[in-house]
C-alpha cells in the first residue's frame, strides 16, 4: 500500500491480476446492470473477457479508439462518458507492446465526470512510478509474479468510496469484497518483491533500455522488412515486439526454444493461440504482419550475452524460413 500511495484499507488481495481485473470490471458492471463498460481493444484478455461477460449480462461494451502506435486517443473518451459507464478500464502498460497509456489524462477526465476508472497496472509495477495519491484512478490491478513475487498472488487497489459487488461470497474477508482465508505468506512475499523492484526500478530501466536498444538496432540492421511494433510510442524498457513478414511465429518460438532462447508470440498468457495477436490486429496491422510476430521480454536476469545470442541466431533463422517459403 505504501509503495503506491494507498492506505492498507484500500488493498484487496486476490489470486492474481486476472482475478483483480475480473473483480474490477464485473464488480462494477453487476452493481450497475445495464450501464456501459468502456475499455480498449488492446486490453489483457482478463479485462476483455470480463467486459464481454458483462456485455452478455446486458452491459453495452464500448471500445476506445487506438492510434497506429498503440496509444489510446484521449479525445475519444468524452463521447463515451454519457450515459455514465459502470467503469472505464485502460491498462497502464500494454503487455505485448510495452506501450504506456495516458492513464493520468484518462483518469482525470473520468474523475471530472464522476466515472469510475480502472487500470490494469500489472505490467507497470516495477517499471513506472505508480502513485494513486497522484493519479486519480479508482481501481488498480497488480500481480506479484511480474516483480519476482509468488505466483498466484495479486491485489486490487479500491479507492475509498468506490463500490463493488463481490465475486466470491462467504465470510466477510477483505471488507466483504473477497471471501476466503487470506494468503498471508503470498501477501508478505508480494510486499517484499514490490519493495525490491521499486528500489531497483530506475537503474534497472536504464540497463534494460540499453539492452533493448541494442537488440532492436541489431535486428533492424540484420533482417530486411522487420517491424518493431509500438516503436514510436512511449514504452517501458522490458518489452520488444517485432513482426517478421515471411516467417512463421510459431516455428520461430519453437526453434528459438531449442536454441535456449525463451520468447513468445503474443502475450505469454495466450501464447498457445494460433490466431494473430488481438493487440496487433487492433492496431490495424494486416494478418501477414500481425501473424509473424515475436515478443522478447527483458528482465533482471537478462544479460548482455543473451542479446548477443539473439542477434547471432534470430536473423539466420528468419532467413532460412523465408528461403524455404
Name the residues annotated as catalytic.
Answer: 269
Cβ(138)–Cβ(162) under 8 Å?
A: yes
Pick from 44, 111, 50: which is nearest to 77 by CA?
111
Task: Give the list of residues 6+ apart from residue 152 with CB closer than 8 angstroms, or none.
Answer: 15, 16, 145, 183, 186
Regarding beta strands 37-40 and 61-64, do their DSSP bridges make them parallel or antiparallel, or are they unpaired?
parallel
Give the integer Cα–Cα distance in Å for 180 and 16: 14
What element of type H or E holds 37?
Answer: strand 37-40
Contact 239, 298 (CB under 8 A): yes
Q: How far apart are CA 8 and CA 29, in angstroms?
A: 25
Buried b (16+ CB within 10 A) or exposed e, 149-162: bbeebbbbbbbeeb
Total length of the chain = 325
Question: How does DSSP assign 285-303, residue by residue?
Answer: --HHHHSSEEEEE--TT--
Among the listed residues 271, 269, 270, the one whose alpha carbon sits nearest the alpha carbon of residue 256: 271
3-state SS string for 114-176 = CCCEEEECCCCCCCCCCCCCCCCCCEEEEEHHHHCCCCCCEEEEECCCCCCCCCCCCCCHHHH
User: Which residues are CB-contacts of 217 (< 8 A; sequence separation ≥ 6)?
Assistant: none
Amino acid at each position: 500500500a505504501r509503495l503506491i500511495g494507498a492506505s492498507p484499507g484500500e488493498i484487496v488481495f486476490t489470486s492474481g491480476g486476472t482475478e483483480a481485473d475480473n473483480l474490477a470490471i464485473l464488480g462494477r458492471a453487476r452493481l450497475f446492470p445495464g450501464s456501459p463498460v468502456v475499455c480498449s481493444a488492446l486490453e489483457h484478455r482478463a479485462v476483455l473477457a470480463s467486459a464481454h461477460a458483462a456485455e452478455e449480462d446486458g452491459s453495452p461494451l464500448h471500445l476506445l479508439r487506438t492510434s497506429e502506435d498503440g496509444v489510446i486517443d484521449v479525445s475519444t473518451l468524452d463521447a463515451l462518458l454519457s450515459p455514465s459507464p459502470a467503469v472505464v478500464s485502460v491498462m497502464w502498460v500494454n503487455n505485448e507492446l510495452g506501450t504506456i497509456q495516458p492513464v493520468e489524462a484518462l483518469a482525470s477526465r473520468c474523475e471530472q465526470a464522476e466515472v469510475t476508472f480502472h487500470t490494469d497496472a500489472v505490467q507497470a509495477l516495477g517499471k513506472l512510478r505508480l502513485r494513486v495519491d497522484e493519479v486519480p484512478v479508482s481501481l488498480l490491478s497488480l500481480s506479484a509474479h511480474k516483480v519476482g513475487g509468488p505466483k498466484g498472488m495479486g491485489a486490487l487497489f479500491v479507492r475509498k468510496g468506490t463500490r463493488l459487488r463481490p465475486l466470491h461470497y462467504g465470510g466477510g474477508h477483505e471488507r466483504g469484497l473477497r471471501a476466503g482465508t487470506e494468503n498471508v505468506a503470498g501477501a508478505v512475499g508480494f510486499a517484499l518483491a514490490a519493495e525490491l523492484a521499486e528500489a531497483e526500478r530506475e537503474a534497472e530501466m536504464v540497463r534494460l533500455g540499453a539492452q533493448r536498444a541494442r537488440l532492436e538496432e541489431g535486428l533492424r540492421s540484420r533482417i530486411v522488412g522487420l517491424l518493431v511494433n509500438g516503436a514510436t510510442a512511449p514504452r517501458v524498457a522490458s518489452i520488444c515486439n517485432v513482426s517478421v513478414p515471411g516467417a512463421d511465429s510459431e516455428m520461430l518460438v519453437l526453434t528459438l526454444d531449442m536454441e535456449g532462447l525463451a520468447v513468445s508470440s503474443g502475450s505469454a498468457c495466450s501464447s498457445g493461440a494460433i490466431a494473430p495477436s488481438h493487440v496487433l490486429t487492433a492496431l490495424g496491422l494486416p494478418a501477414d504482419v500481425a501473424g509473424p510476430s515475436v515478443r522478447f521480454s527483458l528482465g533482471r536476469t537478462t544479460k548482455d550475452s543473451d542479446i548477443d545470442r539473439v542477434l547471432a541466431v534470430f536473423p539466420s533463422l528468419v532467413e532460412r524460413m523465408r528461403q524455404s517459403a
